[in-house]
Structures are given as C-alpha cells and as structure tokens.
Structure 1
Amino acid sequence: MNQQPTLGRIVHYRGKEGLHALRAAIVTADVRTLDPRGVEAGTVPPLDSEYHVHLWVFTPGEAGGFPEFNVPSGEPHEHQSGQELPPGTWGWPPRV
C-alpha cells in the first residue's frame, strides 16, 4: 500500500461480521485529522498506524450506515472470484 488514506476519501470496507459484505465507506478520520482531545477524553478511539482509519460505512436500508473505528488497510489477495479484501479491512476501489 503506497497511498495513505485521507479525510473524506471513499474506500471499500469488507464487514467483519455476518456475510462480510463489501460496502462503500468514507474516511472520517486519519492520523493527520484525528482530534487528540477526543482521544484523551476517551470519546474517540486512537488509530494504531498511518494506515488505520475511522470510517462511516454506507449500507442499504433505513439505517443508512454505521461507524467503524481503527480499521486497518487490507491487502487484497487473489481469490477464485478475483481481488478480495480480508474481513474487517478497508481498501481502495478498483480503477475502472
């Protein structure tokens, strides 16, 4: 992974529960934009590395989405159906 995630970027997120569905997500915090006061107060989780992010994950249906915190980047690996992210990770959308 050579490009760091930044605030507001759209990424793909593979769920860590259920069917591990692939969803669109937006980066809500990265290491440069994370508010240290929120971390100190315990209201915002810290990030483990420059490739971990907080996300808002978009979902179909009434709820519309949910937050995920301290999500690591996932290196896609070859699978029978093509490139796939490991569960509980984010990755860049493929170029089309």
Structure 2
Amino acid sequence: MQKPTTGRIVRYRGKQGLLAMRAAIVTADVDTLDPRGVAAGEVPALDSDQHVHLWVFTPGEKGGFAEFNVAPGDDPGQWSWPPRV
C-alpha cells in the first residue's frame, strides 16, 4: 500500500449517521507529526505508518471536522485512496 503523506487528498467514510463518503486531507503522518505536541497531550499519537490525522470536508457552514489516528480501509471511520478514473 502506498504510504499516506501530509497534504494528500483521501476519502473518509463517516462513523455516524449515513456513513457518508467524504473528501479529506491528511494533516499529519508519521513523518510530519510533531512529537512535542504528542508529548504535551495536544495531539494523539499515530498507531502505524498507515494511520493519519485528517481534516474531513463537509458541505454546509461548518465546513469540516478533524479526525485523529485514522486507519486505512473501507469501513466506517477509515480512510482510503480515491479511485483512479
């Protein structure tokens, strides 16, 4: 599997409601996560080099929300690469 990197666009399947597929951007990966923020309790650690922190885009005024330590996959609460077209 290709390694996720900060700034890449991925898809995120929601964990609540309709379990909608949304666009998201990787905001931190294992190479860009600041260990000082983790040590200070300001941001969660990542469980593996495939886990990421995301900003998930949503329609409407709020615009989106953060998700932390998200694993890859196709199940609710996981990220995946967009299909090639």
TM-score normalised by the chain length of structure 2:
0.99
Structure 2 unaligned segments of length 5 or more: list them: none
- Matched AA of 2:12: Y
1:4-41 CA-to-partner distances (Å, cap 9, x unmatched) read 00000000000011111000000000000000000000
Bigger-Rg structure (1/2): 1
Counterpart for residue 81 of structure 1: none
**Structure 1 runs (4+) greater than 6 angstroms displaced:** none
1:35-60 CA-to-partner distances (Å, cap 9, x unmatched) read 00000000010000000000000000
Counterpart for residue 67 of structure 1: 66
Once residues 17 and 24 of structure 2 are traced to their aligned partners in structure 1, the CA distance between those partners, rounded to angstroms, is 17
TM-score normalised by the chain length of structure 1:
0.87
Counterpart for residue 33 of structure 2: 34
Once residues 89 and 16 of structure 1 are traced to their aligned partners in structure 2, the CA distance between those partners, rounded to angstroms, is 8
Counterpart for residue 79 of structure 1: none
Aligned residues, how many?
A: 85
Structure 1 unaligned segments of length 5 or more: list them: 75-84
Once residues 65 and 47 of structure 2 are traced to their aligned partners in structure 1, the CA distance between those partners, rounded to angstroms, is 20
CA RMSD of aligned residues (A): 0.4
Percent of aligned pairs with the same amino acid:
75
2:79 is aligned with 1:90 = yes
- Matched AA of 1:92: W
SS at match of 2:26: strand
